[in-house]
Structures are given as C-alpha cells and as structure tokens.
Structure 1
C-alpha cells in the first residue's frame, strides 16, 4: 500500500480505533481478515482495512486477551467473516460502524444479544 492509498483510509478513519489518539506517523494499515503470507489481494478492499496505531497492531498479534477483544470489536475477523457485514467498534467515539468499499463509515446500531 502506498502513501496515497493509505491517505484515503486515514481520511475515513481519522484516528486509531483503539481511541489512543496517537500521532499520525504511528498509524499503520491493519487487515481485519488477515491476508497471511502471500494471501489474496482481494482482502485489500477498503472494508477490510482500518487505521490502527502500530503499538496496538503489534499487541493484537502477541497478546491473547487483546486478540479476543479485537475480535469482539470487529478489528480482527475470521477468514469466513465478510468485512462488509461485520461492524467495527471505534473506542474514540463509542460508536459502531460498517466500513464500505467506497471509503465510507456508516453508523451501525448493534442489537443487544
């Protein structure tokens, strides 16, 4: 992903979804459904990529409790889940959103279980 492409994600997301409000230079693209080594470029679509601070991105990969939280918030998805249909929680705003493939965030009302 080049800088121009990443700028579109940053314009949509504005900050890391963890709510840290860190510095922009620490933000990285995060695939919600991981591509894996040499995985499909079909997972590079906008609904599957979110802005995340590099600290959280690393912690999700190394901390089991945080990985569980990330799945509950829609920050990480199983390969069978569709990014277009799975909402994502933004801790900075306290809102749930659906991410679209045209770089939009749509407010989502998550029903109580």
Structure 2
C-alpha cells in the first residue's frame, strides 16, 4: 500500500457516517448488504447513504456488485487488512507485535504528575 492510498482510505473513514457504514459492511462480511438494508439499519436517508458509499468506493474500501435490480455493497477486506498492515508495519521498531497488548508506551515516555500542595 502506498502512502497516498492509505491517506485516501483514512480520509474516507474520518467521517462519522462513513465509519458507521463501513463497520456495518464489515459486520455483514462477504455477503454484503443492499443500500436499502444499510439505510434501515443505520437510520440514514438513501440519498445521504449513496453519497457516503460513493466516497468509500472511491477510497477502495468497499465494492459494489449488481444482482438483478439490486446493488450489493461489500467491504474490501483485503484493502482494510492492507491498511492495517501499513499502519502497523513499523510497530515496535519493526519487530511487530504478536499480541494486541504487546505494544505499550515506553517507560521513558515523559509523564506529568501533579504535586499536591
């Protein structure tokens, strides 16, 4: 993944409704959802949903497929995983983290403490 691709994906997700739409599609998995189902699930008007789906499509985070008269939107899981891998590629000085809690703040990270008077 390139830096520009990562920025495009992150920019698309940096909006509340698009993040909600993407998370709903990830929850649905590879079977995807129709715009009508998404609209009802998220309580968002179809025209608003269409705008946000277009942005997610442009960022490569979702795919669209026509099934007869219906459109099916699916999460681009490979793209999502590539974005996560890009974001964590240099974690822990390149050693990677085997467990989610494996990365913690460095003990040398400055902290501020308040003195009681």
Q: What TM-score do you get using the length of structure 2 for normalisation?
A: 0.26
| Larger helix share, 1 or 2 | 2
Rg: which structure is higher? 2
Q: What TM-score do you get using the length of structure 1 for normalisation?
A: 0.27
